[in-house]
Amino acid sequence: MNAAKRREIFARFQAANPNPTTELHYETPFQLLIAVILSAQATDRSVNIATARFFPRYGTPQGILELGLEGLTEQIRTIGLYKTKARNVIRTCEILLEKHHGEVPRDRESLEALPGVGRKTANVVLNTAFGQNTIAVDTHIFRVANRTRIATGKTVLEVEQRLERVIPKEYLWNAHHWLILHGRYICVARKPKCPQCGIADLCEYNNKTPA
């Protein structure tokens, strides 16, 4: 895909959705961090239902430690891998208080040192909470990038690095959200909704296969 097509794709994304953001519910960088940890192999909807039960009262590192492992486990038991996630969240709260004065760090190395935080989670927090031009490549972005040929790659990291190189800089901050939403609702895995797609005429997948 050439640069002109990529620029037009992201111009259309921006025109359709000027201020995209995560569908996870949060009020602080800490709550976003916890929600993203919980969202691994789970839907945003299921995470939002769970966090609505304890964020209002326990939505700080101190609050979650007050809730305790048993209490947190009970609150998130409807989410996949809840036992492991509960342990990771408790330890993350302890580390934030011990090493970061209860604040979420703004650098990748410190974020990835937290239990349950990998590169994708760190990228979400850096982008959404702190305004950095990172792209968290999940299954949706990986699929959309390869299928449309905006940025092809065999690994998540390869796609991430290529997207960062080829997306026009003025669109880079919001690109993560546009691509996720496009993959979640239009460019779905089994049968992409090409007739409803606002970039179908630019997509190289659509131009190679019947609508």
Known catalytic residues are 120, 138
Q: How many CA atoms lie within 13 A of 120 on its CB side?
A: 19
Q: Torsions phi, psi of 26, nearest 5?
A: -160, 160
Under 8 Å CB-to-CB from 170, ≥6 apart: which residues? none
Cα-trace Rg, the chain:
18
CA distance 80 to 26: 20
The string of DSSP codes covering 39-77 is HTTS-HHHHHHHHHHHHHHH-SHHHHHHHHHHHHHHHTT
